[in-house]
Chains A and B, each alone.
Chain A
Amino acid sequence: MDVKTDKDAADLRVNLDSYVEQLQRYAFALTASRDRAQDLVQNCLVRALANSHRFVPGTNLRAWLFTLLHNLYVSEVRSQSRRGDHLSVSDLGDDAVADGGQLVHVEFRDMVASLGALDPDQRAVILLVGVEGLSYKEAAEVLGVPIGTVMSRLSRGRETLRNLTDGVGPRRFRVVGGGKGGD
């Protein structure tokens, strides 16, 4: 049994759980709604099942799943803008935050709403590379752009965020209840 197939098997056994968690988080960041995020992830997995014969073992499962989800989101937004029914993270309303249950904090809302300061291209790169830890190459594959574009969007996004955190001081982004990272 060679190392590569062992790695594939482990990838499926262990990592699919964390990939789905990541997809859900990314979908929530894009849609700012728990319900819509869950729909998006559900549709992503339905599509993955329908296309599972096209997935090449040994290639990057995470990038494949994120690509499916991102494309579904893009086509959803496109059909919404045709209907003139826009949504954006900066419009994050009480509906989305009320779902957060005990974590309904002004800080939590600020934190998620701060994504609205980024334009959609920068936001996607900050989320994929910064939040989800995808490599430049994976992010490029997911977004269907060259690696150089990922790098320049990332640096512009970083600049926007730096201005944001400078303006209000880093403390503002530290006070999130129940987090595992942070201080």
Chain B
Amino acid sequence: MTERFFDPELKAYVDNLRDALSAGAGPTPSGVEALKVKLRFRLTAFRLVRRARWPAAVAIVAGVALLLLVPAQPGFVGEAISAHRLYANDPVQPVEIDAGHREQLMTWLSRRLGEPVGAPALEAIGLKLLGGRLVSNDEGPAAQFTYEDGRGGRITLFVTRDDDSDTSEIAVEDDEDVAVAYWSDGRFAYAIVARAPETARRAADIAIATYRRSPRGR
């Protein structure tokens, strides 16, 4: 490939540069490896249903199979996105109780949700807790915590009871102008809504680690 663009001396340089960069970049870390496997699966699945040359019946069967393979987004995720859109960017009152009254906030929300709930510290990724509010979800009450970055951008952490008591792996999806990362740990179902998928993902990684250490999220 490179022969076309470079004389022999530059080609030797570019070849050596490639080796040096490969050595510098190192092996693929396991986190990247896992994402790669997911991406391959996801793209293969989409490729199957999009094959226009398939007869309609086969496409429908493939579509149904895909629905079974790729679980549908649970209902609380949509509620989390709605709550984020409705409250997080409210200029006057984004939260009902601010982070200055943290104990009061956590006691109130824990009582309403029926189990201890807390808001993990996300300062490590530049997000500061503004406070929280009680919101409603199909399944009952839910807690909404709002965080702010240094530039006025806000993210939502939505926590609600998960009576199916299933644990589920973290999933990240786009929804118009926001991204949502969601998962369940058997006790609660969680969703983090942010502008960028990688912010949602990073915040979710920290939250999962924190809740694993302590249900109160401290």
A residues near B (Cβ < 8 Å) are 2, 5, 8-9, 12-13, 16-17, 20-21, 24-25, 27-29, 34, 37-38, 41-43, 45-53, 55-57, 61, 72, 96-97, 99-101, 103, 107-108, 111-112, 114-115, 126, 129-131, 133, 154, 158, 161-162, 165, 170, 173-174, 176, 178-183
Contact = CB atoms under 8 A, between A and B. Distances in A.
B172 A50 contact: yes
A57 B20 contact: no
A108 B20 contact: yes
A170 B17 CA distance: 13
B47 A180 contact: no
A43 B194 CA distance: 14
B85 interface: no
Please list the 4 inter-chain residue pairs (A to B) with the smallest Cβ-Cβ separation, ordered nearest first: A179-B19, A181-B15, A133-B1, A28-B25
Contacts of A57: 43, 46-47, 50-51
18 contacts: A12-B44, A17-B36, A24-B28, A28-B21, A37-B25, A46-B201, A47-B197, A49-B172, A50-B173, A50-B197, A72-B198, A108-B24, A112-B21, A131-B17, A131-B18, A133-B1, A179-B23, A182-B19
A42 B50 CA distance: 27
A180 B163 CA distance: 56
A166 to B, nearest CB: 9
B19 A181 contact: yes
Interface of B: 1-2, 5-7, 9-10, 12-26, 28-29, 31-32, 35-36, 38-40, 42-44, 46-47, 50-51, 53, 172-174, 179, 197-198, 201
B201 to A, nearest CB: 5
Contacts of A174: 12, 16
Contacts of A41: 32
Given A20-B32, A24-B32, A28-B24, 10 more contacts: A16-B39, A21-B22, A29-B21, A42-B29, A48-B39, A49-B35, A130-B17, A133-B2, A174-B16, A176-B23
A37 B24 CA distance: 10
Nearest to A20: B36
B22 A162 contact: no
